[in-house]
Structures are given as C-alpha cells and as structure tokens.
Structure 1
Amino acid sequence: MGRMMRGPNGSAPDNGRPGWYGMGMMRLAAHPVTVPAGKVTVRVVNAGTLVHEVIVLPLPGAQAAGERAVGSGGRVSEAGSLGEASRTCGSGAGDGIAPGAAAWTTVTLRPGRYELLCNVRGHYAAGMYTELDVTR
C-alpha cells in the first residue's frame, strides 16, 4: 500500500527555482517509495490548504518525475493514466480532495516506474509530483 502526504510547504514568492509557483513550494511525497507489483491502494492525505488530486501515470524510458510538458491550461496530459484519487473521503475520481481529507484509488501496477502527480491547474509546475517504483 502506498500513502501520499502533500501540501504547500513554505510561502516564499516565485524565485525561479523548480517547484515555486508564487503561492509557495508544493510537494507530493510517497511513503513507501517502492512497492511490489500487483494490486496497490494509493491512499492520499491532503495535508495542505488547497484542493488536490493524485493521478497515477507510467514514467516512460529515462524520463524523471517532473519532466512532463505543462500545457497552456497549467495541466499535463493524463493520457495513459492508470488511476486517480480525487474524491474527498472516497475512492476514485471526483472533484478534488478537500484540505485535511483523504482519498484513495486501487490500481494494478506492473514492475516499473510511475509518476504520482497533482494535476490541478498549476500544481504540477509548483512541484506536486513524485516517483513510485514498483518491483517484481
């Protein structure tokens, strides 16, 4: 089982460093960072003050977490998504996870590398992504 904790971390203005987006640094962290292949429940706790979500996407080739192209709408493509946790106090897709609430999704993952990310407008560019490694 994976558990993500994320939310704003600081309040400094945009200073050109990766992850800064005016409102401060945001982060998404996986605990644990490595899980065995098979059925995995991703439990998300929104420890921040804004609404968030978590999308599960495979990481292709040598691409690192945080390297996806951000579109003009401030979001990345969700093509190939394996699951989403964005329903306050529930499973699957919804309207976002309220501050202080939890959500979850259960996905079947093959060995490989995956990116967990928040795709609320501007949050990915603000640093809300992390890698999850899946072993045999």
Structure 2
Amino acid sequence: MSDRGRMMGGPNGPNPMGGRNGWYAMGMMRLVAHPKTVPAGKVTLRVFNTGSLSHEVIVLPLPRGRFAGERAIGPNGRVSERGSLAEASRTCGAGEGDGIAPRTTGWTTLRLQPGRYELVCNNPGHYGAGMYAELDVTR
C-alpha cells in the first residue's frame, strides 16, 4: 500500500491468517496486504485480483482488542460496512464499482490516521472464506 498493494482470491489452499470455511467449495480465499504496515497520511491501496472471481476491498477501522476475521457475518454472507473509510471495487479504476474483475486492478486513495484497519472483500461468502487482512498505520 502506500502505492503498493495486493489482493489475492481464489483456491489458494489453507489460509495462514486463520480464515473460516466459506460458501465456495473451490477452497479457501485470501487477501494479502503488502506491506502490512504503512505511515499515517495519504495511502493508495492498489488491488490486484489474482483470482477467478470478482472481488473488492473495503477499508474498515479495527476496534481495539479485536482481530481481523472476527466480524459478524450476516445471513447474506456479508459483514456490515458501517464506518467504511474507502472502497476499491472498480475494474481498472479508482473507487466504487461493480467489482474488480479477475486478473485486473482497482485502487482507492485515502488519508489514514495511526491505528489498525481491516481490509475485507465483502462479496457474499468471501469474508467468511478468509478474504480479510489487517493493515497497521503508524505515526
């Protein structure tokens, strides 16, 4: 991030970040933040979808004492986006759209204060399948 970022989805085997079984029988999914720590200020999240399905990245503050992957999943297979700070979900473009198509990119730029954030793919079933990552923002 900070002008580098990666999102990966699809049948990637076991998720080292502790993802839960999802709706997709094809296997676990994952989202990887690189780097995992960035300085506060203007941050550009560039997302590359290496999977075979459409994906997105939503930026949510991570409350103190909570960990990535712990959000409640609703009956629609999604987590609440309340408090979302930004979204990258436009194929080959910035901001919101209809999803980042396989083998393409999307991005968003925002200002982040020091703290912990969770990056999530909120397509139905994707969060539950392990598509989340923590991003730490330092002073």
Alignment partner, residue 80 of structure 2 = 77
> Among 62, 65, 72, which residue is 2:65 paired with?
62
Query: What does 1:1-136 correspond to in 2, within 5 Å?
Result: 1=2, 2-10=4-12, 18-21=19-22, 22-136=25-139
User: Aligned equivalents of 2:120 and 2:98: distance in 1?
Assistant: 16
Kept after mapping to 2: 8 A contact 1:65/1:129: yes
Shift of 1:78: 0.3
1:7 is paired with a residue whose SS is coil
Normalising by structure 1, report the TM-score: 0.92
The answer for unaligned runs of 5 or more in structure 2 is none
For residues 105 and 115 of structure 1, do their structure 2 counterparts lie closer, same or farther at Cα, with a shift above 3 Å needed?
Answer: same
Root-mean-square deviation over aligned CA pairs: 1.5
Shift of 1:49: 0.2
The one-letter amino acid of 1:20's match is: N
User: Aligned equivalents of 1:129 and 1:64: distance in 2?
Assistant: 10
Normalising by structure 2, report the TM-score: 0.90
Among all aligned residue pairs of Structure 1 and Structure 2, give the percentage whose two residues are the same amino acid. 65
Deviations 1:62-97 (A, max 9, x none): 110000000010000000000000000000000000
**Structure 1 range deviating more: 17-26 or 80-89:** 17-26
User: Aligned equivalents of 2:85 and 2:109: distance in 1?
Assistant: 9
User: Aligned equivalents of 1:77 and 1:99: distance in 2?
Assistant: 24
Q: Which portions of structure 1, spanning 4 or more consecutive aligned residues, are displaced by more than 6 angstroms?
A: none
Shift of 1:6: 0.7
